[in-house]
Amino acid sequence: MRVLVTGGAGFIGSHIVTALMDSGHDPVVLDALLPAAHPDTPALPDAEFVRADVRDADAVRDALQGMDAVCHQAAMVGLGKDFADAPEYVGCNDLGTAVLLAEMASAGIRQLVLAGSMVVYGEGRYTCERHGTVRPGPRLAEDLEAGRFEPRCPDCGAGLAPGLVGEDAPTDPRNVYATTKLAQEHLAAAWARCVEGRAVALRYHNVYGPGMPRDTPYAGVASFFRSALARGEAPRVFEDGAQRRDFVHVRDVASANVVALEALRGTAAGMLTAYNTGSGQPRTVGEMASALASAYGGPAPVVTGEFRLGDVRHITADSARLRDGLGWRPEVGFEDGMAEFARAGQRASAGAVG
């Protein structure tokens, strides 16, 4: 298949391009190379390259000529700094997706793999011994300041046991970025219904690996820790380090894109299907920091008790639908992945758009 990969020069996108080529497909990269994401021109994938913004309808229209499918990775990522970032997030993520989908509709392209995110869920799945499955509200600043990090049962105030989140869980985006990622899914679902298209949203968990951006407020926590170690500093772990996450290697995410793309023709037309994309090995942030520091040979992590309002406590995926439905399996284990990441280079980054 000839596949347009938006954001294909970015961290995840470039790995997807490589995986597509390795699987015999013909990827074409569309990327604006905006300075916020690429302060230096990155090493471009060995594929046809179109320098253009996904919000530019004319450029997108031209790039879509002769395509069979699209992997849409272009997005502004991360929590942002404050709500003043909202217009830029909505412009990059939602307007960009709307322009792309409108041009796909006109071009008759009916296959889409969308980069989704686990942030659409808000907090993860929790169980109260008395009330069963519950959905705690956002954590309060006064609780976090007092070191009370764990969510409590909204009915009785008791402690909760975290579990795995399935794709059918209610969505509850808790920041602007999360809201735009959910809006992207809604736009793609509407497009699929209108044009009888086939769409998949891969809800990525905490992606890490070679080529991850460094020194940016928009990067994931693994990048923060790796950047600190490279400076000879101890990774600074927020809260108490017991936050549960699912760290999934970027090559496994890339392979999930290829598997999803190749399965599209066999899926029902007129709908979008969401798939959690995680390693299946939940770890705490503290465990990740320790594994990375040990593999790097750098200073041990420091648990600071600091917090970011808007962060969720625990969010880990149940990726059974992707495994059972499409036959995808992650291949990079946590220890091996962290050992590789400790040695791997990082790309320069000044900020926001991937």
> So which residues are the catalytic ones?
177
Cβ contact 137:126 at 8 Å: no
3-state DSSP assignment of residue 95? helix
3-state DSSP assignment of residue 123? coil
Helix (H) or strand (E) holding 111: strand 111-117
What values do phi and psi take at 335, rounded to 5? Answer: -65, -45
Crossing angle of helices 285-296 and 221-230, rounded to 10°: 30
Residues in contact with 336: Cβ distance below 8 Å, sequence separation at least 6, in sequence order: none
Q: What is the DSSP letter of 51?
A: E
Cβ contact 39:348 at 8 Å: yes
| Secondary structure (DSSP) of 302-319 | EE-----BTB-S---B--
What values do phi and psi take at 32, rounded to 5? Answer: -80, -15
3-state DSSP assignment of residue 130? coil
